[in-house]
Homo-oligomer: A and B are copies of this chain.
Amino acid sequence: MDEPQALAAFAALGQAHRLRVVRALVTAGPTGLAAGLLAEAVGIASTNLSFHLKELSHAGLITSRREGKSVIYSAAYAGLSDLVQFLMRDCCQGRPEVCAPAVAALSACACPPSPARFEPGPSRRRRREAIAKPP
């Protein structure tokens, strides 16, 4: 991701209604939400929502598909991921301990993964190994 794109994305997220929309879509998952439901969830007029959706879409943070009369919007996880990556690129002058907390925070990411299969032990080691053996 290049600077202009990242800038557009951050500007898009830096507005209350748009941030709410993105959060709603992020938690909604790949299924997405219809424009109408979004307008209700965020509490703004549909005409206003449309404006913000266009902004978000143009910034690469959401995608849309038509389904009958409705237009369904969903989060563009790849775009979000790229954005995070742009922000933290070259983050620590070779001292991983500086940015490690950010990585850990995202790993924790609170996707309660069907609690049964949550293995206690090796997560830390696994993560380190994953970092140690790049492409």
Contact = CB atoms under 8 A, between A and B. Distances in A.
A103 B109 contact: yes
B96 A111 contact: yes
Contacts of A77: 91-92, 98-99, 101-102
A120 B128 CA distance: 9
A84 B84 contact: yes
Contact of A106 (B7, B88, B94): B88
Interface in A40-90: 75, 77-78, 80-82, 84-85, 87-90
Contacts of A134: 108
A87 B7 CA distance: 16
Given A13-B14, A81-B101, A102-B80, A26 B95 contact: no
A30 interface: yes
Nearest to A31: B93
Given A29-B95, A97-B127, A109-B89, A7 B11 contact: no
Contacts of A110: 89-91
Interface of A: 3, 6-7, 10-16, 19-20, 22-23, 26-31, 75, 77-78, 80-82, 84-85, 87-114, 118, 120, 123, 127-128, 130-132, 134
